[in-house]
C-alpha cells in the first residue's frame, strides 16, 4: 500500500453531500463529505483528524 500516494475510493465515486462531521475519538469537528455508500471523509487534503484515526460521524442538524 502506498501511503504517500493519492487516496482512492474502492468504487471511485467521489460525489456526495457536504456535511459536518465529528471524530468519534477526539471529538474534532470538520467539514466532510458523505458518499452514497455511507462513507464519511473529511474535506481537503488531510483525510484524518488531529488524533489520526479518521473515524468520523455525521452531525445531524435539527
pLDDT tens by residue, 7-36: 555 555 567 899 999 998 888 899 988 888
Whether 43 has a pLDDT exceeding 70, the answer reads yes
Q: Is 32 exposed, middle or buried (0-12, 13-18, 19+ CB in 10 A)?
A: buried
Please report whether residue 7 resides in a domain.
no
**Whole-prediction pTM value?**
0.65
Residue 9 located in a structural domain: no
Split into its structural domains, the chain has a count of: 1
Report yes or no on 41 lying in a domain.
yes
Does residue 33 belong to any structural domain of this protein? yes
Cα 36 to its chain centre, rounded Å, is: 13
User: Does 48 fall in a domain?
Assistant: yes
Average pLDDT, the chain: 77
Say if 45 falls within a structural domain. yes
Amino acid at each position: 500500500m502506498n501511503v504517500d500516494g493519492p487516496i482512492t475510493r474502492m468504487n471511485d465515486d467521489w460525489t456526495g453531500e457536504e456535511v459536518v462531521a465529528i471524530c468519534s475519538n477526539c471529538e474534532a469537528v470538520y467539514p466532510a463529505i458523505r458518499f452514497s455508500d455511507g462513507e464519511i471523509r473529511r474535506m481537503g487534503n488531510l483525510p484524518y483528524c488531529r488524533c489520526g484515526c479518521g473515524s468520523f460521524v455525521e452531525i445531524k442538524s435539527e
